[in-house]
Amino acid sequence: GFRCGIVGLPNVGKSTLFNALTKTAAAAAANYPFCTIEPNTGDVPVPDPRLKAIAGIAKSANILPTRITFVDIAGLVRGASKGEGLGNQFLANIREVDAIVHVLRCFEDDDITHVEGRIDPVADAETVETELMLSDLESLERRVVGTRKKATGKDKEAIAVLPVMEKALAVLNEGKPVRVLLPELDPEDLRILKNLNLLTSKPVLYVCNVAEDDAAAGNEHSQAVAKMAEAQGASTVIISAAIEAEIAQLPEEEVGDYLEAMGLHEPGLDRLIRAGYELLDLITYFTAGPKETRAWTIDKGTKAPQAAGVIHTDFEKGFIRAQTIAYDDFVALGGETGAKEAGKSRDEGKEYVVSDGDIMNFKFNV
Ligand code: GDP
């Protein structure tokens, strides 16, 4: 599955957010820096209003959203790359996720200790990023020695990997995260970089955890974060973990009124989950029938047979073609029959690159 790791300094609201995400009030958040020790993992359904629309038209008995995984990673502190706090554990856990959701404390509350003794989310972001960069630097400096040697000895793989390593090292030595390289690398070098599995090459999303009153409009802290994120080409989500924790406990029929009272259109978590999904460069296609309407997750750029393989490997092996209807056509034309009559149901072959929202019906040999 696809995994987003929730990181941030202690006491910024990670556990509160994670618990709201998984609706498990179990691991109660506490005002204590090292309360989250083992990484908690939760599969979260991806909210998608298109599911309901499709299911209504296809008269499906069930709706099955797709899911992504969030991992609550134990609190990082200054010095983690040198093994401070739960440093090594933290870095190992972060290595195993595909993207980073970085929670920043943007709320004032004198009762909740801040590890650095002040509210400054941009400085906090730098503290965390610095630890990640130091860890990458150390790991690369260790690995590059052998690669240089092998490259001199005409080892083909080392010759391909070395320039990417050197580029990453140069960037880190300038005090920048490796992800600044992403836009300039070709696909092959991107693959090499990904295999190096560096912490600062993972895409990042900043979550501004604001007080309840600031949930709708944000505050000066979240504005500062947004400015920083923009400069990095990263995105930002404003959320109030306290509100999300409240919503997670409400009966479903009361959520709408509560959101309205808070000046919100939808739960912040819905925005967060969607942002995480986008961060991972994922898209959704659908299957629809009387039994169920179901969302499936694929990487952007996936071709029809591999998309079918997400459902079952036999679908990929025996792939013949995919009857495909764009979501907008499906809705506008009242479903499969209408789309067929209007010539909007396409027969796509092995080279078809699936689009977000496609409603697909795979034909395959068994
Ligand atoms: P973590 O260490 O980052 O996982 O932080 P926690 O989620 O455990 O939160 C630390 C403390 O801050 C807890 O007492 C939470 O109730 C509190 N907290 C979390 N989010 C908010 C918030 O948005 N507003 C306020 N006032 N307190 C919060």
Confidence (pLDDT) at 281: 87
pLDDT digits (tens, 9 = 90+) for 179-212: 999 889 999 999 999 999 999 999 999 999 999 9
Would you say residue 243 has pLDDT above 80? yes
CB 8 within 8 A of CB 104: yes
Confidence (pLDDT) at 190: 93
Would you say residue 307 has pLDDT above 80? yes
How remote is the CA of residue 21 from the centroid of ligand 1, in Å?
Answer: 14
User: In this structure, which residue's CA is closest to atom 6 in ligand 1?
Assistant: 13
CA 274 – CA 35 distance, rounded (Å): 28
Confidence (pLDDT) at 19: 87
Confidence (pLDDT) at 343: 97
Q: What is the mean pLDDT of residues 242-257?
A: 91
Ranges of H-type helices in the chain: 14-22, 49-58, 87-95, 121-152, 156-173, 187-196, 220-232, 241-249, 252-261, 268-279, 304-311, 313-317, 327-332, 336-341
pLDDT digits (tens, 9 = 90+) for 137-156: 999 999 999 999 999 999 99
For residue 18, give the ligand 1 atom closest to its CA: 7
How remote is the CA of residue 103 from the centroid of ligand 1, in Å?
Answer: 11
Alpha-carbon distance values, 3 to 51, 251, 273, 307 (Å): 22, 28, 11, 19
Confidence (pLDDT) at 288: 97
How remote is the CA of residue 15 from the centroid of ligand 1, in Å?
Answer: 7
For residue 210, give the ligand 1 atom closest to its CA: 23
Confidence (pLDDT) at 84: 63
Count of domains forming the chain: 2
For residue 9, give the ligand 1 atom closest to its CA: 3
CA 59 – CA 52 distance, rounded (Å): 10
Would you say residue 327 has pLDDT above 90? yes
- 82 shares its domain with 147: yes
CA 112 – CA 32 distance, rounded (Å): 9
- Binding-site members are 11-16
Confidence (pLDDT) at 28: 32
Would you say residue 88 has pLDDT above 80? no
Q: Per the domain annotation, does 284 fall within a domain?
A: no
CA 99 – CA 71 distance, rounded (Å): 10
- 351 shares its domain with 266: no
How remote is the CA of residue 5 from the centroid of ligand 1, in Å?
Answer: 18
- 218 shares its domain with 95: yes
Q: What is the mean pLDDT of residues 227-238?
A: 91
pLDDT digits (tens, 9 = 90+) for 160-180: 999 999 999 999 999 999 999
Query: From the CB of residue 100, how many other CB atoms can be counted at a distance below 10 Å?
Result: 26
- 179 shares its domain with 89: yes
Confidence (pLDDT) at 30: 39
Instruction: Return the best residue to mutate from 7, 16, 104 for the ligand 1 pocket (most ligand atoms within 8 A of CB).
Output: 16
User: In this structure, which residue's CA is closest to atom 10 in ligand 1?
Assistant: 11
Query: What secondary structure does DSSP assign to 116-130, as a single string?
Result: TSS--HHHHHHHHHH
How remote is the CA of residue 139 from the centroid of ligand 1, in Å?
Answer: 33
Phi and psi torsions of 202, nearest 5° = -80, 145
User: In this structure, which residue's CA is closest to atom 26 in ligand 1?
Assistant: 109
For residue 103, give the ligand 1 atom closest to its CA: 3
- 356 shares its domain with 245: no
Confidence (pLDDT) at 37: 41
| pTM of the predicted model as reported, rounded to 2 decimal places | 0.86
- 236 shares its domain with 324: no
| Residues with a CB atom less than 6 Å from ligand 1 | 8, 10-16, 29-31, 35-36, 75, 107, 109, 112, 209, 211, 240-242
Confidence (pLDDT) at 145: 96
Give the range of the structural domain holding residue 325, as residue numbers without chain letter: 301-364
pLDDT-based confidence at residue 24 (cuts at 50, 70, 90): very low
CB 103 within 8 A of CB 240: no
Instruction: Return the best residue to mutate from 11, 111, 124 for the ligand 1 pocket (most ligand atoms within 8 A of CB).
Output: 11
Confidence (pLDDT) at 294: 97
CATH number at residue 181: 3.40.50.300
User: In this structure, which residue's CA is closest to atom 24 in ligand 1?
Assistant: 211
How remote is the CA of residue 209 from the centroid of ligand 1, in Å?
Answer: 9
Q: Per the domain annotation, does 56 fall within a domain?
A: yes
Q: Per the domain annotation, does 17 fall within a domain?
A: yes
How remote is the CA of residue 74 from the centroid of ligand 1, in Å?
Answer: 14
Q: What is the mean pLDDT of residues 235-241?
A: 95
Phi and psi torsions of 283, nearest 5° = -130, 170
Ranges of H-type helices in 213-361: 220-232, 241-249, 252-261, 268-279, 304-311, 313-317, 327-332, 336-341
How remote is the CA of residue 280 from the centroid of ligand 1, in Å?
Answer: 26
Per DSSP, 139 falls in state: H
- 240 shares its domain with 341: no
* Nearest of 45, 49, 77 to residue 64 by alpha carbon: 45
Q: Per the domain annotation, does 248 fall within a domain?
A: yes
Q: Per the domain annotation, does 165 fall within a domain?
A: yes
Task: Note the ipTM here.
Answer: 0.94
Instruction: Return the best residue to mutate from 112, 113, 269 for the ligand 1 pocket (most ligand atoms within 8 A of CB).
Output: 112
- 118 shares its domain with 255: yes
- 44 shares its domain with 130: yes
- In the chain, the percentage of residues whose pLDDT exceeds 70 is 93
- 34 shares its domain with 74: yes
pLDDT digits (tens, 9 = 90+) for 273-306: 999 998 888 999 999 999 999 999 999 999 999 9
* Nearest of 306, 299, 270 to residue 283 by alpha carbon: 299
How remote is the CA of residue 120 from the centroid of ligand 1, in Å?
Answer: 16
Mean pLDDT of the chain: 90
- 252 shares its domain with 156: yes
- 149 shares its domain with 182: yes
- Binding-site members for ATP are 11-16
